[in-house]
Structures are given as C-alpha cells and as structure tokens.
Chains A and B, each alone.
Chain A
Amino acid sequence: MKPIDMNNVQKSLDHFTDKQVYVHLETTNGAYASHLDKKAYNVGAYIRNAQVSFNQAKIVKDGNIHRVGLKLEIGWIYAEGLTDWEITEDNKLLLAGHDREGRLMVALEISEAPFDY
C-alpha cells in the first residue's frame, strides 16, 4: 500500500457513487491488547461484504491521518485513522490505517464485486 493520495482516493470514491457496492469495514486493537497491557480493553468491529449504495463520499485530511465518510440513502458509514491506500488489479479500493509499527488499526474497502470470503 502507499500513503494516501487525496485526489486519487476521491476520484475512486466518486467512481463508486450511486452503484451497488460491497464494503469491508473493520477496526481492532488486536486480540492480545489486554493480555499485554492490563489497563487496555480489547475492542474491534468487523463487517465484510455489506452490500450498500452511497450517493456521496468524501475523504478529509486531519494531520497525518484521513477520514472517509459515505452517505447512504438512510444512513452513514465512516472510518477514521486511514493512512494508506491501494487500488487492486480488479478495481477494489483498499484504505487502511497503520500504526507506527505497521500494524493494521482500521480498514475500509469498497468494491463492485464481493470480497473473497
């Protein structure tokens, strides 16, 4: 993955607007968070292949990280902490936020075809 390029990510988001798309959204601090630090809580959320359509999408920069919000007909999807992006050969938009050690903290991915199970 490469550091986020706002213009190209925005173009890609626009390309998916008003289409039926599949979304992967997750965030996690890892299964060992409270094992390694007693004061930590394990948190995470994960949705894969939710089928949605959004009529508006925007990427916003805030310091070193980015946020992306998708406006649905009757709802919202957003992700915060994104740092890197990639478009795969089969036109899936992958957005991810990595911590200083390169570990995945958050991912938001959009595709017209379902993601592999």
Chain B
Amino acid sequence: MEKHVVIIYPHPDDESFGAAGTITQFRKQGVPVTYLCGTLGEMGRNMGTPPFANRETLPEIRKEELINACKVLDVDLQMLGYRDKTMEYEDRDEVAAHLKGILEKIEPSLVITHYPDYAVHPDHNALGAAAIEAVRLMNDQKRPVVWTQAISNNYQEELGKPDIMNDISNHFDKKMEAIRAHDSQATGVLRQFEPKEQTIDEDIKRRFSTEEFFIWEFED
C-alpha cells in the first residue's frame, strides 16, 4: 500500500479530469493524497455556460472550485502560486527546487504528474518536467515512484502502451462530481466530446473511465 500520494498538475480541474478515479481508489484504502496545484487557471478560456466569469474574476472563482473539488475527493490541497500559461517561462531549476522542498517534507511514496512533451498544454509539459527533475534531485533512497500521464494524440504510437491502465468505472460518479465542482470549466470541456447533450453520454463515460499512467524510469 502507498504511504502518501502527491499529485502535481498545473490547473484546477487537471486533477479531476486526469486522476479523480485513481485518487478515490487511494483514499478508499486510507492513503493520504496531497494535490500540489500549480496555478489558479487564470487564463482559462471557458467562462461558464452561460458565462459568469470574466478575466479578472476568474482566478477567485477557480480557486473556490478547486477547494470544492478537493473536498469532494478528500485530498489535501497546496496551491503553488504560479500563473496560468506562464509555467514554461519560469526557471525550470527554481520550480524543481520549490517542488523538491515540498516533497521532502511530505515524503510521498508515489508522485503523479504529466508526461513532459506528451501532455498537450505547455503548463502540463513544464510542470511535469519540473516535478520529475525535483524527484531526480532527491536522495535516491527516499525517491518516490513517479507516474506520468500522457494525453497527446500521438502518445500511444510514440511511447507504447501505458504501464498502468486503471479502470475507474466504479468511481465514475465521484469523478463526475469532482469535475462538476469546476463549474466554470466543466460544461465547456465536456461539450467538446458531446456537443449537443448536457447528459453524460457513452463517449464521455468511455473516455473518462480509464486513467492511464507511465512509470517514469530514472536513468541514474
């Protein structure tokens, strides 16, 4: 059993879309889960359906939504204070040092983050790379295992099958509840898969019922 799991993603809602079912499985086993959330999604393009946010109010709204989603998932939340869409311009070593400091305090047995260069959004790629660097810099006796999540269209072709294909259909309702806590983003994102219906259709259920991860191999 894991001792403590740390999730590292840049945006409020990445945890719910990406790993809510896996998080729920760990929490059911009594494993503590901490979410290190990089930004407040300040640059989000979805403004609610119909829009209820504007560029200036969005950060506060998404912060509330994040806190609510973390309550749904029963995870400890730490906000890292970076700004949406700017993570790739931050100094990689500084972000890694920041993360390493937090990880050394928590001493997790498992870290989950995005797979660099295969995670579509520049913030995903940058924070994933910084998280891996942070773990690489840790004392190798205390290094947690790292699971990375790839979401680009080409990842299966280039990386092969993920090491972990986690069927979370038992926790699908919990996952949807966490996703819906991100009210300003949820409808807009879900509509990409099902443009007409508001209800959960089979396509969404199929897409969101498996959470896939690669186990990162450290070379040194």
- Chain A residues with CB under 8 Å of chain B are 1, 24, 26, 28, 30-32, 35-36, 38, 44, 46, 84, 86, 88, 92, 94, 96, 98, 101-105, 107, 109, 115-117
Contact = CB atoms under 8 A, between A and B. Distances in A.
Contacts of A44: 85
A104 B47 contact: yes
Contacts of A46: 43, 85
Contacts of A103: 45-47, 188
- The 3 A-B pairs with the shortest beta carbon distances in the complex, nearest first, are A102-B51, A31-B121, A103-B45
Contacts of A26: 43, 55
Interface of B: 43-51, 54-56, 59, 83, 85, 120-123, 152-153, 188, 191-192
A116 to B, nearest CB: 7
Contacts of A32: 120-121, 192
Among B43, B44, B48, B192, max chain A CB count under 10 A is at: B43
Contacts of B50: 102
Contacts, number: 61
A45 B123 CA distance: 16
Given A35-B152, A101-B188, A109 B47 contact: no
Nearest to A111: B56
B76 to A, nearest CB: 26
A94 B54 contact: yes
A32 B191 CA distance: 14
A36 B120 CA distance: 10
Contacts of B47: 98, 102-104
Contact of A94 (B45, B49, B56): B56
A102 B56 contact: no
A98 B45 CA distance: 9
B18 to A, nearest CB: 14
